[in-house]
Amino acid sequence: MELKYESFADVDLSDPFFDSLREDYEGFNDWFVSKAQKGDEAYVIRDQNHSIQGFLYLKIEEEEHSDITPNLPRARRVKVGTLKINAHGTRLGQRFIKKMVDWAVSNSINELYVTVFSKHVHLIKLLERYGFEYWGKKSSSSGDENVLIKTIGRVTGDLEKDYPVLDASRKAYILSIYPQFHTKLFPDSILKNETPDIVKDISSSNSIHKIYICNLKGVESLRRNDVLVIYRTADGGSAEYTSVATSMGVVEETRSIYDFHNEQEFLDYASPYSVFSVEELKNLWRTKRYPKIIRFTYNVSLSKRPNRKSLIEDVGIDRDAYAGFMELSSEQLKKIAALGKINESIIIN
């Protein structure tokens, strides 16, 4: 399944996907038609039968909300207007969390809010996990909803709640990933010359959390909250121009394959967030050829992707250093962030 930004006018309102929204919200059909007439767009995920499996509508607001208790004061913020997912074990919810945060950051907005009925317990837990906090209640003809707000850049010390913040005072490293694995792990960092069907509806693509299994020298030195710059290696052309930095993330933990007591324990840990199939993971368990495991969050995709030439000439990385895993200074990290056009609101010192 592919995530697309579509016009409301191109979405079939009669799709059974919207039945629960019609039940929850009085006048939902009229609201939807009005959005279609205005030319508004939303993120839509469809399955192989073209049936909708996920829908996310975002809008920018600047007004005060007196229908919320306590009042939500006037500010520029992103409203999550509609959010629904047909959950089926592939972490589409995390994909949408990342998309709404990315959308806010790209529009230089640091506050998002969403209204949700108390009965949607799992959705509320998901939002709270990534930093949405209870503000108050919104009353309407459809009933009372909880209002949850996330402030990007607010630091609590909880890696998930602080997502997508990157701490430039922490150690930072370049982590190289081969092209055949890169876009499957980082769907929002797809290159322009890649086909979208590379991105499948699987946990490793959808999840904010990633697992990378390797035997790169030095990765065992990584510590929680360290920053990773994801570096997509060359795929046939000159590395100077086709190897590029594409994304940044934050280390959750590192482990060794030898830490696991048995194969099933290893599979349970790695399978949901790794690009490898169960059979491939079983082979990795048997051979122990790639014993080092990094779990990290996928925080931001670089809008501009500096290539190796730029990293050497503009950032100052050592041309002769080991390209697989390389430590960066705080200043080098900030230069990559600047070259990548990352919004400064997610970089703290």
Mean pLDDT by 10 residues, the chain (349 residues): 87 95 96 97 89 94 95 96 79 87 90 97 95 96 96 94 95 92 68 36 60 94 97 84 92 98 97 89 96 94 91 95 92 95 88
DSSP at 346: G
Residue range 241-283, pLDDT digits in tens? 889 999 999 999 999 999 999 999 999 999 988 888 899 999 9
- What is the pTM assigned to this prediction? 0.88
What is the pLDDT at residue 248? 94
What is the pLDDT at residue 102? 87
Ordered DSSP codes for 236-299: SS-HHHH-EEEEEEEEEEEEEGGG-SSHHHHHHHHGGG-SS-HHHHHHHHHH-SS-EEEEEEEE
Residue range 22-69, pLDDT digits in tens? 999 999 999 999 999 999 999 998 888 888 999 999 999 999 999 999
Q: Residue 222, class by beta-carbon neighbours within 10 Å (0-12 exposed, 13-18 middle, 19+ buried)?
A: buried
Q: Which of 172, 127, 104 is nearest to 345 (CA)?
A: 104
In the chain, the domains with their CATH numbers are: 2-151 (3.40.630.30), 166-348 (2.30.130.30)
Residue range 283-296, pLDDT digits in tens? 999 999 999 999 99
